[in-house]
Amino acid sequence: MKFVDWLVGSVQQRAFMLFDFVDSPDLGDAPSNPTRFRLIILCIALGALTGASLDSAESVFLTTALRRNLTQRADSLDWISSKEALSGSRAALEPMMDVTASAQTVHPPGGVHDDDLQLGATASQWVPGGGTAAISLEESAYRWDPALVPPPAENMDTSTLTISFRQPLLRGFGDGDPVVYQLRQARAAERLQFHTSRGDGLALLQQARTAWWSLLALRAQVRALEEDSVAQQLNLQIVRIRFRTGASSRLDTLTAHQTWGKSRLALLQSEEAEKEGLRILETIADTAVVVIPTPDTLPPTDSSAFPPVDELVHDAQLHAPQLAQALDLVTAKESETDYRRSARLPQLDGTVFASSGLPAGNPFREWSIGARINLDWSIPAGAERARYRQALVDLNSAKVRSVAAVSEVRHQIERIVEAHLAAQEEILVAVDLARVERVRLTSVQEAAKIGSQSLTDLDVARTDWLNAVNAAWQAFSGAKSLEAELETWTGIGPTRRGWVWEEK
């Protein structure tokens, strides 16, 4: 009930300020556009209703921007593409199956012939630590022409079963393997793309919030100018009537006309600026499903305080994409350095195996075991050594940039917190000044109606009031812009809105 009483009182107060001109005994004709006048009164009433829903309307718009912005959707597809690349690199560490088969028949001159059929299957699995376990089965069958007497001894049916385990002994004990290197690089690329897309989303949120509150500030300014335009139009009517009765001079009529013209021109310019602000919103996201409210002439004065700087820096270390990108880059450069360091060493593989293979026999009997050492070393040339040195330099550069990123984030957070405190105080002062200017304007209007104060004073009073309204909304939208910037630097924007990035 208190809210309803406040709402009714607020609407009545604003309505009486305008109807006071209508009920004036000095007013001759009604306004030239009564329909427009009624619409202004209706907007004033609705503005009090929509004032409390500014934040909820903003949340709807930001959610729409995140979900329906085309650039953001393209970034999400790029991240999905990097995930598929990572999945392909990870598949190299999963069980592998190779199947081979060959068939051959030979018909040389003389009528004799021989046929050969070979089948083979190998299953292998990468083992953490760089080793590879494998099992293979090979079958061969040979058929020859009976005219060949005796038959070839080397071509007989055979079955061979081999079990082996190969372990790299150098090159980081398997860490320098190209398959492992490619997997690490793909994982780093996926994380970099993820944080890049997330950073673009935060930038989109900041742009959307700034554009949103700038548009609402323009709408509030348009609303104030509409009130002023109606008031000055009515005042012009009063002065013209007084001029016809001899109560006002020609100079007063010209001054009133000039004031009304300036008010009307400022209204038209603000309406064009409002349309441009709406077009900016439409470029960010589809606004067809978003209801854009018309705020009151003065912004809310509810002050919001940020958490301490250390807490915000801690949140940034957990969520800020620029810090995560710096750490992921360090990880990628470390993998590159390890791989280039291992590439300078010989490739020394140790293999143990057990096999059974008898001509036309049972492959599961009479096993033999063995071990083998393979050495392969391409002596590194100057180009390979240069790539290793380059990897070291890039790694050190990435570490320095990571430290610099943390320092930059803290610096920006401190700057935003200090600026936001100043903006909050500026809002309170600007709103209080605007209310004082409104009371002063009302007083000057009453005095101008009875002729005790000049129309020039009225023009100065209304200009001061409009400037105060504009300053209050500029301070308010600036504070909202700082909040959006803080969300970008700390990375908490999507989290505050229930946005789980990995699922989108």
Residues 253, 239 contacting (CB under 8 angstroms): yes
482 φ, ψ to 5°?
Answer: -65, -40
3-state secondary structure of 452: coil
Q: In sequence order, what are the beta bridge partners of 434? A: none
What DSSP designation does 157 have? -
- Which string of b and e fits 329-353 if b means at least 16 CB within 10 Å? bbebbbbbbbbbbbbbeebebebeb
Which residues of 339-469 form beta strands (DSSP E)?
347-359, 368-376
Task: Give the whole-angstrom CA distance, residue 321 versus residue 204.
Answer: 14
Q: In sequence order, what are the beta bridge partners of 133? A: 125, 165
Residue-by-residue DSSP string for 230-251: HHHHHHHHHHHHHHHHTSS-HH
pLDDT tens per residue, the chain (504 residues)? 333 333 233 333 333 333 233 333 333 333 344 443 333 333 433 343 444 477 788 888 888 887 777 777 788 888 888 888 888 888 777 788 888 888 877 776 665 666 778 888 888 877 776 778 888 888 777 766 666 555 555 556 677 778 888 777 776 666 667 777 888 888 888 888 888 888 888 888 888 888 999 999 999 989 998 988 888 888 888 888 878 887 777 888 888 888 888 889 989 998 999 999 889 888 887 777 778 888 888 888 766 778 888 888 888 888 888 888 888 889 888 888 888 877 777 777 777 777 776 555 555 556 677 777 777 777 766 777 888 888 899 899 999 998 999 899 999 999 999 999 898 889 999 999 999 988 998 888 888 777 777 888 888 888 899 999 999 999 998 888 898 888 888 887 655 555 444 444
Give the model's pLDDT for residue 25: 33
C-beta neighbour count of 284 within 10 angstroms: 21
Give the model's pLDDT for residue 122: 85
Residue-by-residue DSSP string for 182-210: HHHHHHHHHHHHHHHHHHHHHHHHHHHHH
Residues 158, 118 contacting (CB under 8 angstroms): no
Residue-by-residue DSSP string for 62-101: HHHHHHH-HHHHHHHHHHHHHHHHHHHHHGGGS-EEEEEE
Longest alpha-carbon distance in the chain:
143
Residues in CB range of 324: below 8 A, 6 or more apart: 191, 195, 491
Angle (nearest 5°) at CA 208 between 205 and 211? 150
Residues 162, 352 contacting (CB under 8 angstroms): no
The model's pTM is: 0.65
Give me the residue label for tokens 């500026």: 426
Which residues of 291-415 form beta strands (DSSP E)?
347-359, 368-376
Q: In sequence order, what are the beta bridge partners of 348? A: 375
Give the model's pLDDT for residue 393: 92
Walk across the sheet containing 96-106 and list its strands. Answer: 96-106, 114-127, 131-144, 158-168, 347-359, 368-376
Residues in CB range of 325: below 8 A, 6 or more apart: 192, 195, 196, 199
Give the model's pLDDT for residue 300: 84
| Amino acid, res. 89 | S
Cα end-to-end span (Å), the chain: 43
